[in-house]
Amino acid sequence: MSTIEALYIFDENNTPLLEHLYNNRPPPPSTLLPLYLAHPTPRPPLIYLPNTNPSTLLYSITQDQLLFLCPCSTDTAGPLQILEFLHRVADAFEDYLGAPLLASKIEANYDVVAQLLGEMVDGGVVSCTEPNALRDVVDAPSLLKGLLGQVGLPSNTPSLGGGGGSSAFSLGGIGMGASPRLSPSGAMGMGSGSAAQTASPVPWRRANVRHTSNEMYVDIVETLHVTISPSGRPLAAIANGTIAFTAKVSGIPDLQLSLACPGGIANAIALPVFHPCVRLNRWKERPGELSFVPPDGRFVLAGYEVDLLGPAALDAFSTASTKSGPRLNIPATVSVQTGLGPAAADFEVRLLLNPRFTGKSHLSGAAASLSGRARGGAGFASSSSAAPGTTGAPTIEDMVVHVPLPAAVRNVTDLRVLRGAGGEAVYAPGDRAIEWRINGREISALMANDRGSGTGAQATLRGTVVGADVEASDDLDGGPVSLSTNTYDYDEGGASYQSRSSSAEDAKRGAGAGAGATDAEKERKKNKVLMPSAATLGFSVKGWLPSGIKVESLGVDAKMSRGLGSGVQPYKGVKYLCVARRGVECRC
C-alpha cells in the first residue's frame, strides 16, 4: 500500500506555501524544490532523486500554477495512487475554497486546509477523499469561522490541523503537532465520535441530504479526434466520452440509468471506467445498465472510448478500392489545396459543412417528438418540433480552422474569405499558423444560403505565402546571417591557400542539366516548401454525439431507495454535447 509521507505546496513564484508531514522524516521542501526545478521542462510527474538521504521518489502535479509535491522514500506498489491523491487534494481545495485555486485563498483559510489534509490521510495512509464524506466532517470556511467565534477562538487560527497522531502541520516554517479538531457540531475533541454517529452509510454520499426540489440531470460529453488522409479517407476516429451526473435528490436514492446505441453498447464502448458508486456486476450482466447510489451534487459517473471506424476498418484499409473504405458522419471537414496560381504560391482552405447540422428539425410527427427530448418533468419532455440544440436539431457552434505554416514562411498576403462565408481569418507576420474563426450565427447564415442543395454549405479561405529572401537581406540591418560554404586547400608550410567554392563548382557541374530550367520553375520549387501540410478543425455541437449513444431511461428504484418519500418523482433531464478542439485533422 502506498504511504503518503508529506505534502508540500508552492505558489506560482515557487515560494513555500504549505507543509504538512504525515509519516517518517522526508527531505524538507528547501531540498526537494531545487532538485525538482533542475529537471528540464516538461517535467515528469514522477522523478527519482538518488542524491537525497534517503533516496526519494518525488510525485508532482501543477494546479492553477500551484505546485504540489509529495516525497516518498520507499518504492510503492501503486504510484498512480499517490498521483490520484494529489489530484483529489486539489479538487477538495477547489470544492471548499472555490476555483481557480489561488495562494491567497489557501493563506486565508489555513484552518480549513489543515482539517482537510488531516482527514484525507491517516498516519500516511489515504483514508477519505470523497467530497461528500469530507463535507460531513469538515465545515465550509464561512460556517467554520462562525463556530470558532462562538467558542472564543480566533477565526484565522491554524491550530486545527492534524487528524492523526503522527501528522504535523507547518505554516511559513512554524511546525505544530496534532491538536484538537473542531467537529461540525461545534464540540471540541480529539476523536470523531459525533461525526461517526452522523456519518452516512454510503461513503461517497452526505448524511441526511434534503432538497426542496428533487432533480436529476445527465450530461454526456464526447471529445472527437479524427485524422483524414489527403484522399479524404479517415485514418483514425476516436471519441472519448464522459457521463456527468447531477443528483439533487433527498435521502439515499437508488437509480437506474439505461444507455443504448446502434450496434449495441457492448460492441461500441471500449475501456469503460466508473465511479465507485456503480455496481459493476450489473453492468457485466447487462451492458448499458448503470445501477448506483449517487453522491450529492455533480460528479463524473463514467467514462469510455469509442472507435468510430469499427473493428472492420483495418480490413477496409487493406483493400485497394476506395468505395469500401470507412465513412464518417461528422459535422464538418476541411481540405487544403496547395501550389495554386502562376507562381504556385497560393493555397486554398475549403470548409464543407454537413447539411444535417442546420439547427432545424429534419423529422416530423412522432419521430420529431422522440428525438427532441431534452429537459423534462417526471419523464422526458417531448414536443411536436425539436428545439435547436437537441437530438432532433443538432447545431454547430463556434468553429475554428487552424492552418499551421512552415517555419520558412515570412508572411501571408491577400488573405481573404471567399463565397461570402463570413468569419475572421487572423494572421500576423511571423505567426506560425492562421486562425479562421466562424461563430454560430455565421454558420447558420452560411447554411441558409445553401438553399437546400443537400451537398452541404462550403466556405473557402485563400492566401499567398511569402518566404524569406536570403539574398536580399543585409547582415548589417539585422537580417538572417548567411554562412559560407567555401572550403580551403592549405599547403604544408601554410604560406599560401586556395579557396574553392562548393556552390560554384556545383553550379558549373549542373550547368548543362539545368540550362533549360526557367525562373518560373525555380520559383515554383521554392514556394513548394512554403505550403501548409495540414489543417485542423475545432467546433462544438449541441444535441449530437459521434458514437450515437442515447439515454433510454432514468428511474428511481422505490424499493431500494430510502428517505425520498412516497410518490415523489424527481425532475429529469438529458443533454448531449460533442467537443472537438482541433480534433479533426485533414492532411494534404
Q: What structural domains and CATH numbers belong to the chain?
A: 6-197 (3.30.450.60), 215-326+544-587 (2.60.40.1170), 332-359+394-468+529-537 (2.60.40)
pLDDT, residue 175, reads 37
pLDDT, residue 499, reads 46
Lowest-confidence region among 188-192, 450-454, 481-485, 522-526: 188-192
Q: Map grid coordinates 481540405 to a residue.
A: 335
pLDDT, residue 289, reads 94
**What is the Cα–Cα distance from 533 to 405, expressed in whole angstroms?**
8
Q: What is the pLDDT of residues 360-373, one digit of tens each?
A: 655 443 333 333 44
Greater confidence (226 vs 328) lies with: 226
**What is the Cα–Cα distance from 112 to 142, expressed in whole angstroms?**
10
Answer yes or no: is pLDDT of 381 > 50.
no
Alpha-carbon Rg for the chain, nearest whole angstrom, is: 32
pLDDT, residue 33, reads 94
pLDDT, residue 231, reads 84
Lowest-confidence region among 29-33, 308-312, 472-476: 472-476
Q: What is the mean pLDDT of residues 70-90?
A: 86
pLDDT, residue 420, reads 61
Across 224-237, b (16+ Cβ under 10 Å) vs e yields bbbbbeeeeebeeb
pLDDT, residue 312, reads 62
Q: What is the mean pLDDT of residues 18-46?
A: 92
* Alpha helices (H) in 331-451, listed in sequence order: 366-371, 440-448
When pLDDT is cut at 50, 70 and 90, the band that residue 480 belongs to is: very low
What's the number of CA atoms in the CB half-sphere (13 Å) around residue 441? 0
Answer yes or no: is pLDDT of 401 > 50.
yes
**What is the Cα–Cα distance from 389 to 66, expressed in whole angstroms?**
37
pLDDT, residue 423, reads 78
Residue 393 is given by DSSP the state B
pLDDT, residue 361, reads 55
**What is the Cα–Cα distance from 547 to 569, expressed in whole angstroms?**
30
pLDDT, residue 36, reads 94
**What is the Cα–Cα distance from 222 to 295, expressed in whole angstroms?**
22
pLDDT, residue 94, reads 92
Q: What is the mean pLDDT of residues 320-348?
A: 78
Answer yes or no: is pLDDT of 160 > 60.
no
Greater confidence (269 vs 327) lies with: 269
Answer yes or no: is pLDDT of 475 > 80.
no
Strand partners, 240: 223, 305
pLDDT, residue 198, reads 55
Q: What is the pLDDT of residues 496-517, one digit of tens each?
A: 444 444 444 544 555 544 544 5
**What is the Cα–Cα distance from 276 to 280, expressed in whole angstroms?**
9
Q: What is the pLDDT of residues 207-238, one digit of tens each?
A: 788 898 899 999 999 999 999 988 888 888 99
Q: Do residues 498 and 487 lie in contact, with contact meaning Cβ atoms separated by under 8 Å?
A: no
What's the whole-model pTM score? 0.71
Q: What is the pLDDT of residues 563-582, one digit of tens each?
A: 877 777 889 999 999 999 88
Greater confidence (384 vs 30) lies with: 30
Cell of 526: 521554392
pLDDT, residue 212, reads 87
pLDDT, residue 273, reads 93
pLDDT, residue 404, reads 92
Give whole-number Cα distances, 359 to 364, 448, 462, in Å: 14, 11, 28
Cell of 15: 515560494
Q: What is the pLDDT of residues 130-151, one digit of tens each?
A: 888 888 888 888 654 555 455 5
Helix (H, G, I), strand (E, B) or coil at 236: strand
pLDDT, residue 304, reads 95
Helix (H, G, I), strand (E, B) or coil at 265: helix
pLDDT, residue 199, reads 60
When pLDDT is cut at 50, 70 and 90, the band that residue 353 belongs to is: confident
Answer yes or no: is pLDDT of 380 > 70.
no
Greater confidence (510 vs 20) lies with: 20
Q: What is the mean pLDDT of residues 101-123?
A: 92
pLDDT, residue 164, reads 38
pLDDT, residue 502, reads 45
What residues have CB less than 8 Å from 123, skipping those under 6 apart? 22, 23, 164, 165, 166, 167
Q: What is the mean pLDDT of residues 539-564?
A: 90
Strand partners, 536: 402, 585
State the burial class of residue 531 (Cβ atoms within 10 Å of its Cβ: 0-12, 13-18, 19+).
buried
Answer yes or no: is pLDDT of 421 > 90.
no
Cell of 296: 450529492
**What is the Cα–Cα distance from 151 to 263, expressed in whole angstroms?**
63
pLDDT, residue 494, reads 46
Greater confidence (95 vs 381) lies with: 95
Most confident of 108-122, 428-442, 449-463: 108-122
When pLDDT is cut at 50, 70 and 90, the band that residue 486 belongs to is: low
% pLDDT > 70, the chain: 71
Answer yes or no: is pLDDT of 86 > 90.
yes
Q: What is the mean pLDDT of residues 254-276?
A: 91
Answer yes or no: is pLDDT of 347 > 50.
yes
Length of the chain: 588
Average pLDDT, the chain: 77
